[in-house]
Structure 1
Amino acid sequence: MNVTFEPDLNPAQLWQILLHEARATEQKEPFLAPVLKRTLLDRGSLQDAIAHRLAGDLASAGMGEGAYLTLLSDVLDEDPAIVADTALDFIAVYSNDPACRTHVHAFLNYKGFHALQVHRIAHRLWNTGRRELAVWLSNRASAVSGTDIHPAAKFGAGIMLDHGSGIVIGETAVVEDNVTILQNVTLGGTGKIQGDRHPKVRRGVMIGTGANIIGNIEIGAFSKVGAGSVVLKDVPQGCTVAGIPAQIVRLHPAAEFPAVGPVQPFHC
């Protein structure tokens, strides 16, 4: 399951698509008009809309929506690359999930998408030394969405966290571009070592529901992990693994995935 990228769709073009879809949704379902106006139709950019949408979810009795809106907007202003990655996440969800019929549907309703965008902001805070705030933000996102991602974890772009519920991703995990992760997946450590102890998921991977991938191991590019599997050792690129413990059950023909060379270091 690989993302079909739309090469000419940049954040500004995606913004226009969202506005068009929001206006159509407003006409079809007037009940949603207030939230569409507040988060999309009264906003001036994709960046502004994302900040408003996430702030509404994160707000609590102890911290109001305005405070979160200021924080999220400031971070997005500091790092415009986050919005470019967000646009690719939109494309991933729209391309890979048959239940997602519009981009605005994902914007309004997909908590896995929301959790990932909060993580991108928390990761920026972590990398700039604001670690207590990064952990706070991640904890709020987990409480709201059920998706628990350590703010130090590294993500590429074009990611789909389908449903989001029960996903746990540890501190030293790496998830490269174009990866799909279904619900109740754990990218965890063994609990016995310190330092670099979490999985490295290479580009184009699909991880099925309830899979547990444990330790500082590598899931090779364009491989698939079957639902409910427990993966305890490296997985080569271009194969399917399944079972407890996971074993290779299929080698994919080269025609099924793009040619890949040696794995290169991934930086985020």
Structure 2
Amino acid sequence: MTACIHSSRTQFLEKYDCNHNNYSNFCRPDYHDQFSCKPISKNTIFSQNHEEYEDDDDDLWLKMKDEARSEVDQEPILANYYFSLILSHSSLESALANQISIKLSNLSLPSATLYDLIMGVLTQDHEVVISVKNDLKAVKERDPACISYVHCFLNFKGFVACQAHRIAHNLWLQGRTILALLIQSRVSEVFSIDIHPGAKIGSGVMFDHGTGIVIGETSVIGNNVSILHNVTLGGTGKSCGDRHPKIGDGVLIGAGTCVLGNIMIGEGAKIGAGSVVLKDVPARTTAVGNPAKLIGGKKNPTKLDKIPSFTMDHIQHVNEWSDYVI
């Protein structure tokens, strides 16, 4: 696929004394035909202003490219890596499709096939892209271990797994269940994160570490939720149909927690690490222990031995979550 390899790439790699021939492994077979592979001049690559991106008003993507250039300056040995995964792409959508397709591909499932599939979703559903950007910002703001947006994008498997789920969920809603379940299976194998494609996940979500997260089919997760590793949003095994938890906006779920059954975790609630939650948790309240007991929040004091029932307003709020575009 020599059409995608321009002289500017050779200049870029020669600056860092890298083997530019490796880039042919990352070019999509039909990339040039579907998404024009425009030449990138040496001055464009290393410019410190944004005038060269007249057609790109996405500040986050520009920031990521600047971060990638800066990190290449610090570690020239990674020039190949950053160019193929970030700097050679014209948009966040293209870079994300490339990242997911490389991670999930195998001998029987070529990365080029996955790339085309994912780009189709990202170009048709702008709301998915908005959620991707909000997830990036959420990780950068909430995780002190995240040193940059591009660091999260390339190295945080919880973030990549969440975005792969967004693609699978979109396919699930289209009735393309076989493809959706295939992506779920590959994500589970590669990242040890198992999210059913039917689950609804809001925007600005952070899966910190991610390992061991299991999210069931009828789960609903609101906006700005943080979930740590080894968390299960599962069923009790005693019911069918709508059988998984509903997580409100701004909830924090600690590591090793099990939230089981069709219960609601109210807005702004916190679930302590290692807890087993089997009943509703009111908004802005902390639940800890096995079985979980409630500790009243500052604005919503609650007795430890009683969990108040939810009103119809809360139930209606849960129904409205189904309008989230994932």
Is the pair's TM-score, using the shorter chain for normalization, greater than 0.5?
yes
The whole-number CA distance in structure 1 between the counterparts of 2:81 and 2:237 is: 43
* Contact kept in structure 2, 1:11 and 1:46, CA below 8 Å: no
Q: Distance in 1 between matches of 2:298 and 2:106?
A: 47
Q: What is aligned with 1:151? A: 197
Question: Following the alignment from structure 1 to structure 2, what is the Cα–Cα distance between the partners of residues 201 and 20?
Answer: 36
Choose from 99, 105, 112 the match for 2:145: 99
Q: CA RMSD in A?
A: 1.3
Q: Show structure 2 runs of 5+ residues with no match.
A: 1-55, 301-312
Match of 1:237 in 2: 283
Take 2:158 and 2:298, find their aligned partners in 1: how far apart are those partners? 28
**Residue 126 of structure 2 aligns with which residue?**
80
Per mean C-alpha deviation after superposition, the further-off stretch among 22-31 and 113-122 is 22-31
Paired residue type of 1:75: V
* Structure 2 Cα separation of the partners of residues 250 and 208 of structure 1: 17
Select which of 212, 220, 223 maps to 1:166. 212
The offset of 1:225, in angstroms, is: 0.1
Instruction: State the SS of the aligned residue for 1:251.
Output: coil
Larger Cα-atom Rg: 2
Alignment gaps of 5+ in structure 1 = 1-9, 255-261
What letter corresponds to residue 97 of structure 2 in structure 1?
A: A
Q: Which moved further from structure 2: 212-221 or 19-28? A: 19-28
Query: Once the two structures are superposed, what CA deviation does each residue of 1:139-191 show, in whole Å capped at 9, x if it has no partner?
Result: 10111111100000001100000011000000000000000000000000011
Q: Scaled by the length of structure 1, what TM-score is found?
A: 0.91
The residue aligned with 1:249 is 295
May I ask how many residue pairs the two structures share in their alignment?
A: 252
Displacement, 1:67?
Answer: 1.1
Aligned ranges for residues 167-246 of structure 1 at < 5 Å? 167-246=213-292
Alignment of 1:31-180 (within 5 A): 31-180=77-226
Higher relative contact order (CA 8 A, sep 6+): 1
In structure 2, C-alpha distance between the alignment counterparts of 1:202 and 1:117, rounded to whole Å:
20
In structure 1, the partner of 2:68 is: 22
Identical columns (%): 46
Using the TM superposition, give the Cα deviation of residue 31 of structure 1 relative to its aligned residue in structure 2, in angstroms.
2.6
SS in 1 for 2:58: helix
Question: Separation in 2 of the partners of 1:219 and 1:115?
Answer: 23
Residue 267 of structure 2 aligns to a residue whose secondary structure is coil
Q: Deviations over 1:44-67 (max 9, x none)?
A: 011111111111101112111111
